[in-house]
Structure 1
């Protein structure tokens, strides 16, 4: 059992067991705030008490990797890989994914393939047994490009972070060119600023309001899955708001549309070792049973709903059905009949960090504020002509505010072409 699962309150004594629990509590607190440096220290403290504890070793390796200590992380993950099966089984559930990822950071592509494929195969062995009937017909109905309102690219959006809001708007704009036979649909609630909702509508998106009772026991991350149940939708793509559509994805989707497969899935990174990536799959009407009651029942049974709830639900409940008829595009793992991503036009996003499904907001801006800690500072971005690009509010911490921005906004700011102006 990893540190993330063993923490609890301790008394005043300092027995080995209690020192371990103190380390576990420190690790949990560090992970809650994404402080991998503090998490590393807590894991190191625990390893002094239980040096062969596989769960702690996997937590330790994760922190090393997130702090870019890739060679050290690789060595720790290999300790777990080479441990006897009974010991190895005590490691965290994602240690093999971590090993594949760190090999990617180290440029060990053959090892990425080997460990990533092994992780996927083990997950498939656990979760690949059908729980509901699969697709009813031999092949889905042919794609109809003349009815874009029945071909939906579905997103979830909540909150007021530019990381998600600006990328969502950009996707709606780009989809008009790359996916003219599709329509973007955004499931959102009243936590999204009205100006963002209007910009989405102006760009051509459908907007589905999930505020209040409309949520009906469905986790916000999973709102986009409701498109599966819409009888007016024939084809759907489920996507992440902070990942940008591209020519590479367009070519893969076109190949799926010409195929007899009911579902589509893409893996385009050494980190893509989940059975179904929550923002890189799609399907056809009739291929799945109604997901809303399935999501409601599944969520009601969970004791701890995390930010990975959508991934876990798909792994446990949808993968057994999707795996029966899926075109997998995947250059990394050769898993489940994978085919390489097809040739495509040049990608418009000129950044070496881009891949299908990548996070577009790997840049941040920061500014001074005279507001008190905890208050919200208003700001906006102006282009070289003085025209407003976007406006947001960010929480002040220690006399400063900050915000994650997609690279297509951060780059002209960094180059001095655009500027930030405080609004209140």
Structure 2
């Protein structure tokens, strides 16, 4: 089984509607894959029913709504019945750009997949832009290592626990910072200014500031490979601030 895995909790329409939209599109973007949602009791039953109607797996998880719930989606990484699992955010949308990158990862036969597709994608592993072969991650160990509940707890534990373990067996697509010497550009061309992991609200709108920042960097000369990661990051941020102030 190949799974697109999500955490879903609370009643924020941005995430509830996003979950439904992603469940609807998974068959088109990822033929043969199944969307799986790990959901809390706070998610309306009508939403769960709609997800099931669209062919998604809905897994109820006990517990209060908290930031640590974002880790639930990584349960699929430990599922022995899963061949490949990719973790995504409910407030983003599945795209063909990411699907091409995932296809390249599967063909590489590496255990882990990492994507960064925007100048502000500066985490070692973005929680909604990664993937793993089944059994590559021990969820119980991940959960225990998460520590104190806080915003960004998912990416913190991915950076401190998972990244050191998987870096050498990962295929990494990185459009800008390229922390790793062997990271690759995304296959294919960027379409209409979109980027993987772009946040979309409940009305289908994206953040114009994020797209402006992307355009500012792509139109500059900062993508040459001669710069160090630290210098490139500082230059990218400086360019973004200048362009957004114009």
Q: How far apart are 1:218 and its partner, in Å?
A: 9.6
Pick from 164, 168, 181: which aligns with 1:320? Answer: 164
Paired position in structure 1 for 2:188: 343
1:185 lines up with 2:58 in the alignment: no
Superposed, which structure 2 residues align to 1:261-340 within 5 Å? 261-288=110-137, 290-292=138-140, 294-299=141-146, 302=147, 304-336=148-180, 337-340=182-185
Q: How far apart are 1:171 and its partner, in Å?
A: 0.9
Pick from 139, 143, 155: which aligns with 2:6? Answer: 155
Pick from 101, 114, 125: which aligns with 1:252? Answer: 101
Query: Any gaps of 5 or more consecutive residues in structure 2?
Result: 207-246
Which of the two has higher C-alpha Rg? 1
Give the TM-score, by structure 2 length.
Answer: 0.77
1:223 lines up with 2:93 in the alignment: no
How far apart, in 2, do the equivalents of 1:230 and 1:181 lie?
18
Number of aligned residues? 205
Contact 1:298 1:313 survives alignment (8 Å): yes
Residue by residue over 1:379-418, the C-alpha shift from the partner in whole angstroms, topping out at 9 and shown as x without a partner, is xxxxxxxxxxxxxxxxxxxxxxxxx64329xxxxxxxxxx
Whose RCO is larger (CA < 8 A, sep 6+)?
2
Give the TM-score, by structure 1 length.
Answer: 0.46
Secondary structure of residue in 2 paired with 1:208: strand
Residue by residue over 1:194-246, the C-alpha shift from the partner in whole angstroms, topping out at 9 and shown as x without a partner, is 11111111111000001349x9x992110001111211111100111111101
Secondary structure of residue in 1 paired with 2:58: strand
Secondary structure of residue in 2 paired with 1:314: helix
Secondary structure of residue in 1 paired with 2:108: coil
Paired position in structure 2 for 1:27: none
Q: How far apart are 1:281 and its partner, in Å?
A: 0.5
How far apart, in 1, do the equivalents of 2:113 and 2:80 lie?
19
How far apart, in 1, do the equivalents of 2:79 and 2:129 lie?
19
Following TM superposition, the consecutive aligned residue runs of length 4 or more in structure 1 with deviations greater than 4 angstroms are none
How far apart, in 1, do the equivalents of 2:56 and 2:126 lie?
23
Once superposed, what is the RMSD of the aligned Cα atoms? Answer: 2.2
How far apart, in 2, do the equivalents of 1:255 and 1:212 lie?
37
Query: Any gaps of 5 or more consecutive residues in structure 1?
Result: 1-149, 362-403, 409-424
Task: From the superposition, tell whether residues 342 and 296 of structure 1 become closer, same or farther in structure 2 (CA, over 3 Å).
Answer: closer
Secondary structure of residue in 2 paired with 1:407: coil
Superposed, which structure 2 residues align to 1:22-421 within 5 Å? 150-212=1-63, 219-288=68-137, 290-292=138-140, 294-299=141-146, 302=147, 304-336=148-180, 337-343=182-188, 352=193, 354-361=194-201, 405-407=203-205
How far apart, in 2, do the equivalents of 1:218 and 1:306 lie?
6
Residue by residue over 1:70-122, the C-alpha shift from the partner in whole angstroms, topping out at 9 and shown as x without a partner, is xxxxxxxxxxxxxxxxxxxxxxxxxxxxxxxxxxxxxxxxxxxxxxxxxxxxx
